[in-house]
Amino acid sequence: MKMTGSQILIECLKEQGVDTIFGYPGGAVLNIYDELYRHQDEITHILPSHEQGAAHAADGYARSTGKVGVCIATSGPGATNLVTGIATAYMDSVAMVAITGNVSVDLLGKDSFQEVDIAGITMPITKHNFIVKDVNDLAHTIRRAFHIAQKGRPGPVLVDIAKDVTANKTDYTKEEIKPIEVTNHTIKEEDINAAIKMIEKAKKPVIILGGGANISDSQKEIVEFVKKVNAPVVDTLMAKGAFPATDPLYMGMVGMHGTKTANLSVTKCDLLITIGARFSDRVTGNAKRFARNAKIIQIDVDPAEINKNVETKQAIIGDIKEVLKVLNKKLEQQDHTDWVELAMEKKAKYPLKYNKDILTGPYILEKLHELTNGDAIISTGVGQHQMWAAQYYKYKNPRSFITSGGLGTMGFGLGASIGAQVGNPDKQVVNIDGDGCFRMTLNELATASRYNIPIIQIVMNNCVLGMVRQWQTLFYGERYSQTTLPNNVDFVKLAEALSVKAYRISKKEEVEDILKKALQADGPVLIDCVIDSDDKVWPMVAPGAAIDEVFSEEDLENRTK
């Protein structure tokens, strides 16, 4: 059957099970949008306020559902507005297909109106990208893009389509989509056996979970493995929810703002079993002194991560879920009772602390956890509020913490929360932002309002760029260069102007009542939380220090006495 390129594109998206698209129309994609008009009952389209919001929404949709997120933008500035969102997805290994229009083939390379080399621009921040100049290549390219986005380590793929391709006709044959093999790598029995021997010899093992633990949807296998090894568990920012934070073996997050117990456990262990972690500098601190007493077993789907940042004694390449199934079958029950009890004692000795006399971010997060029973999907921007959300909300479900860990994209959370809510209509989605992050992308609140997407937008409003200011306080002699934000925006009135219900919290006593009202609302809600500008994230590891040199506010005060 002959079809136009636009018809073929939509049919291919339906083949892939796409039911939601986040996008913004324009001249180069008008043919695509004309075809979408005919499929409104099959594909939901969300129109954001800005193309960056479309990319972040597709990202949040993908992270929270495990499906491929899809975004569309027109040529030129429409395409370039996707770039930050694509880079965010790339750094955190998120399966996304970004579709951009471009000028017609005969106008390419002639500095035509709204022409830009988006394939060249995005080459370093995509798993792969395609330029489609012939309608006969379109169906194969779309199918290939989805395959690449999902196979092995996930990531974004860009498909740039010349406008005349979407109008030209060719034959289309529907294809049945086969399940994608996660990886080409066969799990080697000798690697499994070597790892088991190391586990059996270990006296003080620790298990560290990274983002791959969430991506692989292997919580069941992880819990079984942890119980078999009988070892303390720590996680990175991207692994929240892969192992329940309420489990007694959980020691907290590791790294720059990790718990003292987690950081000390990693430093003192004799075996570090790493599941889907890439050893980012925010996790390792001084990499030469990271886990310096331990041999490291690294389980990862991507061989490029092995020995990249730290030295690995034994690697197991393969899909985490499948690797753990094999390990769980072959590994006998281990007993590390004394080591586990020591870790638990340290956990009790070094709890996370904050000022309970005033309204703080940690208090709001603890209360939110209590009222949602840890079942909400939490998204964040980047900064102090992000760390508080990681520390004080106890995640028990996979894919329930949506944050920009690799690129550190301020303003990511609101768009991501919209995507997560659209993908999970039966879940409560809450975006935690600082006022700095919220100012960057607050226009997407209009999107939530337009579609009545029932997210809760919490703004930790301290009138400063909190995390940068914290560094200026601790390491730059309190020289607060350009980190004070003017208190000239009334976020409550702004939300109300967008037909969004809004509340302001300025006292601890107001938190529970207002959170309950927000949780019972049937549309989007904004909560402006007025907190102290000097509130900090504790504990902390100084730049260049080893993670066992983690210090608290109390430690800092004792040093200066």
What region, left, alpha or beta, does residue 478 occupy, with left being phi > 0 and alpha being psi -120 to 50 degrees? left
Q: At 181, is the pLDDT very low, low, confident or very high (cuts 50, 70, 90)? A: low
Task: Determine the pLDDT at residue 97.
Answer: 99
Question: Which sequence positions are flagged as catalytic?
Answer: 51, 113-114, 163, 467
How does DSSP assign 66-82, residue by residue? SS-EEEEE-STHHHHTT
Task: Determine the pLDDT at residue 109.
Answer: 86
How does DSSP assign 490-557, residue by residue? -HHHHHHHTT-EEEEE-SGGGHHHHHHHHHH-SS-EEEEEE--TT----SB--TTSBGGG-B-HHHHH
Task: Determine the pLDDT at residue 111.
Answer: 86
Q: Is the pLDDT of residue 18 over 70?
A: yes
Residue partners of 170: CB distance under 8 A and separation at least 6? 2, 3, 5, 8, 135, 136, 138
Q: How far apart are CA 41 and CA 36, in angstroms?
A: 10
Q: Is the pLDDT of residue 560 over 80?
A: no
Greatest Cα pair distance, the chain, in angstroms, is 81
Task: Determine the pLDDT at residue 312.
Answer: 96
Name the residue with tokens 């260069």. Answer: 481
CATH code of domain 189-349? 3.40.50.1220
Short-list 173, 416, 185, 194, CA closest to 296: 194
Task: Determine the pLDDT at residue 175.
Answer: 87
Q: Reply yes or no on domain 361-537 having CATH 3.40.50.970.
A: yes
Average pLDDT over residues 5-24: 98
Short-list 431, 444, 441, 460, CA closest to 533: 460
Is residue 367 within 8 Å of residue 512, measured between CB atoms?
yes
Mean of the per-residue pLDDT values of the chain? 96
Q: Is the pLDDT of residue 388 over 90?
A: yes
CB count, 10 Å around CB of 33?
18
Task: Determine the pLDDT at residue 207.
Answer: 99
CA-to-CA separations, 135 to 56, 57, 167, 302, 311, in angstroms, rounded: 29, 29, 9, 34, 48
Q: Are strands 169-171 and 2-4 parallel, antiparallel or unpaired?
A: antiparallel
Q: At 62, is the pLDDT very low, low, confident or very high (cuts 50, 70, 90)? A: very high
Is residue 301 within 8 Å of residue 318, measured between CB atoms?
yes
Q: How far apart are CA 242 and CA 223, in angstroms?
A: 9
The share of the chain scoring above pLDDT 70, in percent, equals 99
| 208: three-class secondary structure by DSSP | strand
| 472: three-class secondary structure by DSSP | helix
Each residue's pLDDT tens digit, 431-443: 999 999 999 999 9
The share of the chain scoring above pLDDT 90, in percent, equals 93
Tokens of 343: 């870790």
Q: How far apart are CA 283 and CA 475, in angstroms?
A: 20
CATH number of the domain at 2-171, out of 3.90.380.10, 3.30.70.3280, 3.40.50.970, 3.20.20.10? 3.40.50.970
Angle between helices 384-392 and 361-372 (to 10 degrees): 40
| 228: three-class secondary structure by DSSP | helix
User: Is the fold of 2-171 the same as that of 189-349?
Assistant: yes
Q: Tell which wins on pLDDT, 346 or 180.
A: 346
Task: Determine the pLDDT at residue 1.
Answer: 85
Each residue's pLDDT tens digit, 467-494: 999 999 999 999 999 999 988 999 999 9
Hey, which residues does 429 pair with through a beta bridge? 377
| 309: three-class secondary structure by DSSP | coil
Q: Tell which wins on pLDDT, 414 or 488.
A: 414
Each residue's pLDDT tens digit, 39-48: 999 999 999 9
Each residue's pLDDT tens digit, 309-353: 999 999 999 999 999 999 999 999 999 999 999 999 999 999 999
Q: Is the pLDDT of residue 212 over 90?
A: yes
Each residue's pLDDT tens digit, 438-461: 999 999 999 999 999 999 999 999
| DSSP helix, strand, coil percent of the chain (3-state; round to 5) | 45, 20, 40
Q: Is the pLDDT of residue 107 over 90?
A: no
Spans of all domains in the chain:
2-171, 189-349, 361-537
Tokens of 233: 């568990």
Q: At 558, is the pLDDT very low, low, confident or very high (cuts 50, 70, 90)? A: confident
φ, ψ for residue 529, nearest 5 deg: -105, 110
Task: Determine the pLDDT at residue 264.
Answer: 98
Task: Determine the pLDDT at residue 554.
Answer: 87
